[in-house]
Every structure is written in C-alpha cells, then in structure tokens.
Structure 1
Amino acid sequence: MRFETLDTDVLMFVGNDHESVATAFLDGDDALLVDSLGSIEDARELQRVLCLDLGKTVRVVAATHFMSDHIAGLSVFPQALTLAHRNYRHSFLSQNRPVDALYREPRLVFDHAMRLRWGRHELRFVHNPGKTMDHLSVDVPSADLVCAGDNIVGRIVYLSKADPAMIRAAIQRIRRFGRSTVIGGHIGRFPAAALDHAIAYLDRLRELVIDIRADASPDADDRIAALAIEACLAPGVEPVAFEREWHRRNLEAIVAQRIFALDTAVAAREGGA
C-alpha cells in the first residue's frame, strides 16, 4: 500500500487491490475516511498505519459510491459511523463483480448535500451522479482538494454500465469547485487538469466510435476493439498501466453494450436533416 501526506491533517492511501484510494482527514486523534480501499488485506494495512502506527481512531467512513472496490473498510472499522448517498444499494447491485462479504448497511444516508465539520476542515458532500447513481463528490475548500471517486479514472473515465453523458456532466460539476487537487477513486491524486483530460478522452472516444459505426462496415466491432488509448488521450498525456487496462475494458463494454449507438443514430439523423 502507498501512503502519502497531503497536508498535516490529510493523508492519502492507495491500496494494492485496483489501486483504490482512501483519504483520511484528521481531527486530533480522530480520523474520517473518504472511501476505504478495495480488499480486506488493504483495509487492514490502512488500519495498521493509521491506527497502530499513527495512533488515530477511525470515527467516520464515507463512501463516494457503494462499490466493492471502495468499501472494504466498512468491515475493518465496524464501530465507525458509515455514511453514503441513499441510492447506495443501486450502486452495489449494478456493479459487474459485487463482493457480498464487504457489504455493510450505512448508518447515515442523505439525498442531495451535506456539510460536516471535521477539525479545521468543512467537508461538503454533494450528490454528483455519473459513473453511478449514488456518486458523491467531497469538496474540501480549506484543503484545496476534491474527492472525485470514480467519475474519473486517472486522466480517463470508465464507462461500464453508465451513461457517458452523465459522466461528462459529473466531471463538469467537479470542475466548478475550482480545486487545484483532484483525488480519484483509483491511482491517487492529480492536478485539476486531469478533469479536462478525462473529458477530452471521453469526447474523443465517442467521436471515434461514432465515425466507425457510421460506416456500417461488418468489421466495426473489431475496429472499435482495436482503438488505441493514445488516439483518445489529450495532447501530451502519457497513459499509465492502470489507464491502459481500463481503456481496454471500455472498448469491451462499448462493443458488448452498444455504447454510443444512440449517439450514432442521432448524429446520422441530424446530418441528414
């Protein structure tokens, strides 16, 4: 597990499982976690570092979204207050590989927005559906950062079963917070430019798929499956291994679920109008 101090009272942990991220906000010896890693092994290592080595007690665990690769700490910190958006079950049931053993009912749920004072910080939990219907952004103005969850995956996005237009709108809403640091659900932290890069990737991927589908050639699916990530990235962005892997999964989802087929039909209709 990778551990990084972002500020005197803000710590970031990146687990080995899916490079999932947990962010700890400290109030003296008390800690609040935004997300809690993707496996029991990673969550126990987080517990060792945060609780045993640093002497902190985890009082609150908040989920940016209720998918298995972000909620392992719910089992490891059973006494903590757990919070999530009220659509948490929808998110858990919609994932491709739910891990039922990690599921715990959150004790506090809310609808649109909530503010929580924690030490010197005010954490602003804002419902921001995109990758999932329960997605939260956690804006922390005093730390000049925002936790974006899986509405970005590095400098790209992961489509899975989501509506690409919703993901794009979610990223735009994150941009409006105006924070210089964005903490993703995976890999770690990024400068604010990562939000523009993720939108550029999504727009270019959509454009390329529409162009291929518009040809109506019999090998369209093969051409989509062969799209290189470099053809979709913003200029100057060099992909890391994790982004390459999730780009590959995007291509699989696009072919299997006919993602962007509606966009192709709308574009054809408007072009012929």
Structure 2
Amino acid sequence: MFVGDDHESVATAFLDGGDVLLVDSLGSMEDARWLQRVLCVDMGATVRIIASTHFMGDHIAGMAVFPDALTIAHRNHRHAFLSQNRRDDASYREPRVVFDSAMRIRWGRHELRFLHNPGKTMDHVSVDAPSADLVCAGDNIVGNIAYLSKADPAQLRTAIGRMRQFGRGVVVGGHIGRFPAAVLDNAIHYLDRLRDAVVGIRTTAPAEEVDERIDAIPIEACLAPGVDPVAFERAWHRHTLAAVVAQSTFALDAALASREARV
C-alpha cells in the first residue's frame, strides 16, 4: 500500500510474481512517479493493470505514468470525473475496460472481486480480496468519517454497510491508509450523528441561524466513542459541513421529521 503526499491518496499493489495490479494510482504526477520508482525500479516489477475505485483526479494520476497498463473503471466513470469540484481535464484517460455491476480477476494467489457500490460517487467500486482479508473502500469512507460532497447520505451509508457484510479484517481507504474493520462502523456512526445534528438544527433553529449553526458542528459530536481524529479527518469534516450548507443536505430528512411530528 502506498500513501502519496497529495491528499494522502492511497494506491494498493497486488503482486503476481513480477506483475502488478494497482487499485487506484495516487493523486499527482510526482506521487505517481514515486510509485513507479518503487515498483518498477526498486522492485523490478511491471504494472499490468490499474483499476479505479472511482474516477477522480486524486486517484488516477498513475494512468498517465503507466501508459501500457490495462485500465479498468466502472461504466459511470465519466459521471464521477465530471462531478469533481476542481476538475483537471488534462488528467483524463479513457479506461480501456469498463464494467457494470461486478467483475472478478484472478491475480496470483488472490481473487479480486470488484463490486459496483455507489456512495460517494455514482461509479464507486469496492474491491474485495478475501484471501488477503481486506477490502479497498475508495472514498466511501475518509478514515473514521465520511465526506458527503455531492453524495446522497443514505446511499453512502448503504455503501458502507455493504462493505461491512464482506467481513474483512482490514479496510484500505482512499486516503490516509489502512484501518481495522471497526472503521466502517465508525464511519456509519459519524454519518448518523451528523444527520441527527443537522436535522435538529434545521427543525428548531431560526432560519437565519441554520447555516452558521451547521458550520459550527464539532467533529467530536459526530465521532464514535474512542476515536481520536487525525488532521485529515478534521479537515474533511470541515469540507463536509461546507457541502451540507451549500447543498442543503439533510433538508429532506428535516422536512420528513417535521411532517411526522405534526401527525
């Protein structure tokens, strides 16, 4: 597993002798060239396949560095690429293989199971590796929290729940690194507590105070017990609050809660 300097983006290398299958490929050309030096120069390996958990610029830099590799993405990859807040069209590389719901690849001693699992983006893929006791989650989690961006929180929660069903002991995130399985429960806890806090504000606060109060929700109010947030999680909690305000996230939940209270 590799963690780049740019956005602490993660790439995971599965080895079959001297051949490499990459799940994601870091977030900058500098980081991708470092990945290339380690794999190809230091280890003498060849990157044969690059599979994308989701097609956003901070996870696909290596596609330009390994031009001969077979590139794989979900059929909805363009939807994810076009939905980025800051899009760099020069980084786009058309994947050579696209799939729809599921796909399996035998790679050395591992069978990698690719499952379409939309959450953070519509093209999101979870990569389950039972023989390695791990699942690559992509950006359906951000450490012990989740970043909503333009996502439907309910769909994101469902995506995390599906990964829990795999029962793997290790979860590789799209950022920061690897985590024990409890990280999935922690991310669901975060989403539930964030929803509760936002719905509470939207249903009780004066309209002119709603955005300010949402923006002031501390990460500690949403974290699972015993979780001590790292700097990256704190930063992306702030991004999530900004997205909640800008896109009126959980407004529907608040409206439904108010309607139920009147019945």
Q: TM-score range by the shorter chain?
A: over 0.9
Please state how far the C-alpha of 1:75 moved relative to its aligned partner.
0.2
Match of 1:231 in 2: 221
- Where structure 2 has 5 or more consecutive residues not aligned to the other structure, the ranges are none
Match of 1:243 in 2: 233
Please state how far the C-alpha of 1:266 moved relative to its aligned partner.
0.5
- The runs of at least 4 consecutive aligned structure 1 residues that moved more than 2 Å come to none
Give 3-state SS (helix, strand or coil) of 1:154's partner: coil
- Looking at structure 1, the residues matched to 212 and 131 of structure 2 have their Cα atoms a distance apart, in angstroms, of 48
Match of 2:13 in 1: 24
- Which whole-Å deviations, capped at 9, do the CAs of 1:76-106 have from their partners, x for residues lacking one? 0000000000000000001111121211000
- Looking at structure 2, the residues matched to 116 and 256 of structure 1 have their Cα atoms a distance apart, in angstroms, of 40
Pick from 150, 156, 161 the counterpart of residue 161 of structure 1: 150
- Looking at structure 1, the residues matched to 205 and 183 of structure 2 have their Cα atoms a distance apart, in angstroms, of 34
Match of 1:181 in 2: 170
Match of 1:98 in 2: 87
Give 3-state SS (helix, strand or coil) of 2:95's partner: coil
* 1:99-248 paired onto structure 2 within 5 Å: 99-217=88-206, 218-248=208-238
Amino acid at match of 2:234: R
Pick from 63, 78, 81 the counterpart of residue 74 of structure 1: 63
Amino acid at match of 2:255: A
Amino acid at match of 1:272: R
Deviates more, 1:70-79 or 1:95-104: 95-104
- RMSD (Å) for aligned C-alpha atoms: 0.6
Match of 2:250 in 1: 260
Please state how far the C-alpha of 1:241 moved relative to its aligned partner.
0.2
- Which whole-Å deviations, capped at 9, do the CAs of 1:167-194 have from their partners, x for residues lacking one? 0000000000000000000000000000
- Looking at structure 2, the residues matched to 211 and 16 of structure 1 have their Cα atoms a distance apart, in angstroms, of 37
TM-score after normalising by structure 1: 0.95
Please state how far the C-alpha of 1:216 moved relative to its aligned partner.
3.7
- Which whole-Å deviations, capped at 9, do the CAs of 1:86-142 have from their partners, x for residues lacking one? 000000001111121211000000000000000000000000000000000000000
- Looking at structure 2, the residues matched to 71 and 269 of structure 1 have their Cα atoms a distance apart, in angstroms, of 44
Match of 1:57 in 2: 46
Give 3-state SS (helix, strand or coil) of 2:112's partner: strand
- Where structure 1 has 5 or more consecutive residues not aligned to the other structure, the ranges are 1-11
- Looking at structure 1, the residues matched to 196 and 227 of structure 2 have their Cα atoms a distance apart, in angstroms, of 18
Amino acid at match of 1:199: I
- Looking at structure 2, the residues matched to 184 and 22 of structure 1 have their Cα atoms a distance apart, in angstroms, of 9
| Bigger proportion of residues as helix | 2
Amino acid at match of 1:30: D
- Looking at structure 2, the residues matched to 73 and 267 of structure 1 have their Cα atoms a distance apart, in angstroms, of 45
Amino acid at match of 1:63: S
Give 3-state SS (helix, strand or coil) of 1:18's partner: helix
- Looking at structure 2, the residues matched to 125 and 251 of structure 1 have their Cα atoms a distance apart, in angstroms, of 31
Amino acid at match of 1:228: P
- Looking at structure 1, the residues matched to 172 and 111 of structure 2 have their Cα atoms a distance apart, in angstroms, of 17
Identity across matched positions, percent: 74
- Looking at structure 2, the residues matched to 79 and 214 of structure 1 have their Cα atoms a distance apart, in angstroms, of 54
- Which whole-Å deviations, capped at 9, do the CAs of 1:175-227 have from their partners, x for residues lacking one? 00000000000000000000000000000000000101111412111111011
- Looking at structure 2, the residues matched to 272 and 13 of structure 1 have their Cα atoms a distance apart, in angstroms, of 52
